[in-house]
Structure 1
Amino acid sequence: MADYTIVEKDSFTVLGIGTELKSDYTDFAGINKEKADFWQAVKQDGRLDALKSIATNHYIFAVNEAVNNKMMHYAGVMTEASLPEATRLIQFPKGEYLVVKGEGQTGEELSQKLTGIAFGQVLPEVKDFAYVGGPNATVEMGQKNGLVFGEMWIPVVRK
């Protein structure tokens, strides 16, 4: 089984710029393409740099959340500030989180890899915890040896 931990986290908020994912939730190739296109757009048009300029730390969040029966995906940061182009303040609850660590060539590769491991391997095998919804995020934490490293944070409850 993939390496994971269960960690207690205080509640926190991420300011995000988002997009609705139109692919079926089982269409992983379609979802990954939509996410990649979104990230390319927010990097090219300066929205990601604007978010990073008001962040309280250097973490970049790729957040997935169901909102009004829509699959939403956000680029976000922890901050006390606001931006006109930001589309949502995403509340993460206090509680236990499944944390999966990893690395990739890019932030997008890291996010795809961690999402696949967390939802495809760890959650189906973990018997004591369950994901019952709410926002989850891949957190890009930095670079080391030419690779992007980070974690996937998924709120879970004990069964």
Structure 2
Amino acid sequence: MANYILEEKDSFTVLGIGTELKSDYTDYVGINNEKAEFWQSINQDGTLDKLKKIAANDYLFVVNEAVNNKMMHYAGVMTEASLPEASRLIEFPKGEYIVVKGEANTDQELSNLLTGIAFGEVLMEVTDVSYVGGPNAAVVMGQKDGVVFGEMWIPVVRK
């Protein structure tokens, strides 16, 4: 069984810059390619750096959310500020979250690893809670000894 914890979180908001994922939700290769293109783009044009500069902490949120029947993917930060490039204020609910910890070589590898473990293992194994939608996020929390570390946060409800 994959390692995870259930943790109570207060509601919080993340300012996000995003893109719509057009691949079918079962096309993992297509989705990962679209995400990689998005991250390459916001890294190259300086948008990610602008977002990080207004952050209230060091956390970078890699958010997935269904909005108006569209799969959306965001880079986000906790902040009171705004940016013209920002496309959404993402509301995370108060309640229980499945939290999966991990580490990888890059932000994107960490996000893919945590997403795979959380959705491919943990949610398949848990019996007392369910993910019923809403935003979920891989949270890049920092770097130590050349390794990126963080957590996946998925809001859940008791069955």
Amino acid in structure 1 at the alignment position of 2:100: V
SS in 1 for 2:86: coil
Shift of 1:144: 1.3
The residue aligned with 2:115 is 115
Amino acid in structure 1 at the alignment position of 2:74: Y
1:7 and 2:36 equivalent? no
1:104 and 2:104 equivalent? yes
The answer for unaligned runs of 5 or more in structure 2 is none
User: Across the two proteins, how many residue pairs are aligned to each other?
Assistant: 159
Any idea what the Cα deviations from partners look like across 1:103-126, whole Å, max 9, x if unmatched?
A: 111000000000000000000100
Within 1, Cα distance between the matches of 2:122 and 2:145? 26
SS in 2 for 1:119: helix
Within 2, Cα distance between the matches of 1:96 and 1:120? 19
The residue aligned with 1:19 is 19
Shift of 1:145: 1.8
The residue aligned with 2:132 is 132
1:1-159 matches, cutoff 5 A: 1-159=1-159
Any idea what the Cα deviations from partners look like across 1:18-62, whole Å, max 9, x if unmatched?
A: 000011000111101110110111111011111111100000000
SS in 1 for 2:56: coil
4+ residue stretches of structure 1 with deviation over 6 A? none
Within 1, Cα distance between the matches of 2:147 and 2:30? 25
Within 2, Cα distance between the matches of 1:65 and 1:38? 15
SS in 1 for 2:151: strand
Within 1, Cα distance between the matches of 2:154 and 2:43? 25
SS in 1 for 2:49: helix
TM-score by length of 1: 0.99
Amino acid in structure 1 at the alignment position of 2:88: R
SS in 2 for 1:142: strand
Within 1, Cα distance between the matches of 2:73 and 2:20? 6
Within 2, Cα distance between the matches of 1:146 and 1:50? 23
What is the alpha-carbon root mean square deviation over aligned residues?
A: 0.5
